[in-house]
């Protein structure tokens, strides 16, 4: 092959573009989901569906997103994803606006902190259900819409939000997150399995594994773990996660730039999982 052929990349400027894509973001009303939704919309998505339990929070999120001045539109569809009937209703509501989905960000999640001896069975079950089972059911129920426009040269995408708690060991001791850590390890592995199942159908499945980002979910635990400043100082890159860290990575995983990435996970933690002191 000539040097000229090597340097003439196919539409390099459009490599990260999501022009015209239709996305669904679970847990999109705040935190990491909202950060990602902002990136998806600003990268050209024509429709971004925001879903979480609270209708008001979804409405506020889409109002903020629709003020960004993008050509695409954010649409609110509240649903409690811990119930399969609600996931089915969510799919039906989405179908009222579109005949296909290109991108599913399975991001909604919950956590629980309690010492080993008192770790409640119901909390363990609730966390496993939402963070693992509901992610599976959500991907399963959206698969028909994800298949609609999925092509070899333009695959649909599923991005699963895991955590570094599912790679290293999460919090132990007084605020131990046994169920959460187990659920995040499970969902990262679920995504690898789904990558092999859905890859041949031109649906790529990848995960992100964030470290600490100061969101509603993380703020309590971050306070109990020494606070934002101390945690940032302890991180190898001397800071915590920022909204654009999530937005940039999710956009990459949904774009042509990641067209050969399937069954992978991207760790977004400034190196913290590698630096755990034994």
Ligand X SMILES: NC(=O)c1ccc[n+]([C@@H]2O[C@H](COP(=O)([O-])OP(=O)(O)OC[C@H]3O[C@@H](n4cnc5c(N)ncnc54)[C@H](OP(=O)(O)O)[C@@H]3O)[C@@H](O)[C@H]2O)c1
Contact residues for ligand X (CB under 6 A)?
27, 29-33, 52-54, 57, 80-82, 107-110, 130, 161, 163, 210, 212-213, 215-218
Specify the residue, 155 or 211, whose C-beta has the smaller distance to ligand X: 211
Q: What is the C-alpha to C-alpha distance for residues 263 and 2, in angstroms, rounded to an integer? A: 33
**Pairing of β 156-161 and β 103-106:** parallel
- Reported as type and span, the H/E element at residue 206 is strand 203-210
180 in active site: yes
| CB closer to ligand X, 107 vs 255 | 107
Please give the Cα distance from 186 to 242 (Å, whole number).
Answer: 25
Nearest CB to ligand X, comparing residues 44 and 183: 183
Indicate the residue among 109 and 179 with the shorter CB distance to ligand X.
Answer: 109
| Rounded least distance, CB 80 to ligand X, Å | 5
* Set 49, 180, 212, 252: catalytic member: 180
Q: Which two tokens stand for residue 138?
A: 């959500």
Give the Cβ contact number of residue 47 at 10 Å. Answer: 20
Report in angstroms how near the CB of residue 213 gets to ligand X at its nearest. Answer: 4
CB-count exposure of residue 221 (10 Å: 0-12, 13-18, 19+): middle
Indicate the helix (H) or strand (E) that contains 208: strand 203-210
**Which CB, 150 or 218, lies closer to ligand X?**
218
- Locate tokens 């992610």: which residue? 135
Q: Quote the least distance from Cβ 252 to ligand X, whole Å.
A: 17
Given a contact cutoff of 8 angstroms between Cβ atoms, the answer to whether 156 and 146 are in contact is yes
Identify the three-state secondary structure at position 42: helix
Catalytic positions: 180
């Amino acid at each position: 092959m000539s040097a000229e052929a090597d340097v003439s990349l196919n539409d390099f400027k459009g490599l990260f573009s999501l022009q015209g894509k239709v996305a669904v973001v679970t847990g999109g009303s705040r935190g990491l989901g909202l950060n990602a939704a902002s990136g998806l919309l600003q990268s050209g998505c024509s429709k971004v569906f925001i879903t979480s339990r609270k209708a008001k929070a979804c409405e506020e999120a889409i109002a903020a997103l629709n003020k960004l001045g993008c050509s695409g539109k954010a649409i609110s569809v509240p649903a409690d994803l811990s119930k399969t009937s609600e996931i089915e209703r969510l799919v039906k509501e989405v179908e009222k606006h579109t005949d296909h989905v290109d991108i599913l960000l399975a991001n909604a999640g919950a956590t629980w902190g309690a010492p080993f001896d008192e770790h409640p069975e119901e909390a363990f079950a609730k966390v496993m259900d939402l963070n693992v089972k509901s992610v599976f059911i959500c991907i399963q129920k959206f698969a028909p819409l994800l298949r609609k426009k999925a092509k070899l040269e333009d695959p649909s995408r599923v991005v699963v939000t895991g955590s570094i708690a599912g790679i290293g060991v999460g919090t132990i001791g007084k605020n131990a997150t046994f169920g959460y850590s187990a659920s995040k390890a499970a969902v990262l592995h679920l995504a690898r399995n789904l990558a092999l199942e859905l890859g041949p159908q031109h649906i790529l499945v990848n995960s992100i594994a964030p470290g600490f980002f100061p969101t509603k979910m993380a703020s309590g635990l971050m306070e109990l773990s020494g606070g934002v400043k101390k945690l940032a100082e302890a991180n190898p890159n001397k800071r915590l996660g920022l909204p654009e860290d999530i937005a940039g990575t999710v956009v990459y995983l949904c774009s042509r730039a990641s067209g050969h990435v399937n069954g992978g996970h991207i760790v977004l933690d400034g190196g913290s999982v590698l630096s755990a002191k034994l």
